[in-house]
Structure 1
Amino acid sequence: MYEPIRTKSVHSTMADAPTDFPHRSREEELDIQLAGHLSALLAVTDELRALEPSTDLDTAAERLAEQVTRLRGGGTPVRAVTSGAGDAAALHERAHALAGRALVVAASRADTAVAILAAERMDAHALSSVG
C-alpha cells in the first residue's frame, strides 16, 4: 500500500542537528549578561557624575569599570561622554534598577565581589532618589 522511504528526511531532528556552531556555557552566558548590566550601570553612573560630581560616584565608576574589564577578559568598557543635562532623580532610579539586575545575575553566578558592589550601588541610588 505504501512505498518505503528511500531518501533521508530533509527535516533535521535533534539527533541530526549539526554541531558546527559555537556553544557557550552557562557561566559564559552569565558573564556576558553581567558585563552588560554593569556596563549600562557604568554609563548611567557617568551621566550622574556629569550632573552631580562626587567622589562616591567617581569611586563607583572606577570599580564598575574594573569589574566590566574583568568579565570581558581585559576589554575596557566604553565610557559615556555626557553634557551634564538630564533628570538626576530618573537617572538614580534607572541606576537602582540596573544595579538590582546585576545583583540577581551576580548571585546566580556566585560572584561575591560584583554582588557586594551591586548592593552598595542599589543602596546609594535608593538614598539619592529619595533625598
Structure 2
Amino acid sequence: MYEPIRTKSVQSTADDSTAYPHRSREEELDIQLAGHLAALLAVTDELGLTGDGDRIAAQVTRLRGTEPVRGTGPSGTDHGVLHQRAHTLAGRALVVAASRADTAAAILAAERMDAHTAARHLTGAL
C-alpha cells in the first residue's frame, strides 16, 4: 500500500558533532552576560555616567576580549525612562552573572540596580 523509503533520512540521529559548532554552557552564559552588560553600557552612556560606564566597559572587555563601542552621550530621552531601562538591564545581568557564578559582574550589576533605583526615586519616575 505504501512505497518504502529509498533515500537516507535528512533527519539523522547519528552523533556527528563536527557538523556544527558547539558552545559550552559557560560560553553561552558569557555571551548572554556580555550582551546584557553592553546594553546597560549603552544606556549608561546615554545618561552621561562616564565613570560608571567605564566600570561596565571593563567587564564587557573581560568577557568578550575586545573593547565595546561606547555611546556618544545624552540623546534627549527622559531620564526616568532611561533609569528604568538601566535597572531592568542590570537585573538581567545580575541573574546571568549569578547563574555563571561571576562575582565581579554580579556585584557591579547589583550596584547599578541600586543606583538606578535611587535615581528613579530622585526623578520621581516610579
Question: Normalising to structure 2: TM-score of the pair?
Answer: 0.86
CA distances 1:40-79 after superposition (whole Å, capped 9, x unpaired): 0000000001xxxxxxx33211110000000002x11011
Q: Please show how residues 20-35 of structure 1 align to structure 2 within 5 Å.
A: 20-35=19-34
How many Å apart are 1:118 and its aligned residue?
Answer: 0.2
Aligned length: 122
Between stretches 61-70 and 17-26, larger displacement belongs to 17-26
Letter aligned with residue 79 of structure 1: R
Task: Confirm whether residue 12 of structure 1 aligns to residue 11 of structure 2.
Answer: yes
**Identity level (%):** 66
Q: Gapped runs of 5+ residues in structure 1?
A: 50-56
How many Å apart are 1:110 and its aligned residue?
Answer: 0.1
Moved over 4 A (4+): 1-5
Q: Rate the CA distance shift 1:83–1:118 in 2: closer, same or farther, 3 A.
A: closer
Task: Confirm whether residue 87 of structure 1 aligns to residue 78 of structure 2.
Answer: yes
How many Å apart are 1:86 and its aligned residue?
Answer: 1.4
Between stretches 81-90 and 9-18, larger displacement belongs to 9-18
User: What does residue 51 of structure 2 align with?
Assistant: 59
How many Å apart are 1:111 and its aligned residue?
Answer: 0.1
How many Å apart are 1:80 and its aligned residue?
Answer: 1.0
Distance in 2 of aligned mates of 1:2 and 1:81: 66
Letter aligned with residue 105 of structure 2: V
Q: Rate the CA distance shift 1:8–1:81 in 2: closer, same or farther, 3 A.
A: same
How many Å apart are 1:18 and its aligned residue?
Answer: 5.9
How many Å apart are 1:13 and its aligned residue?
Answer: 2.6
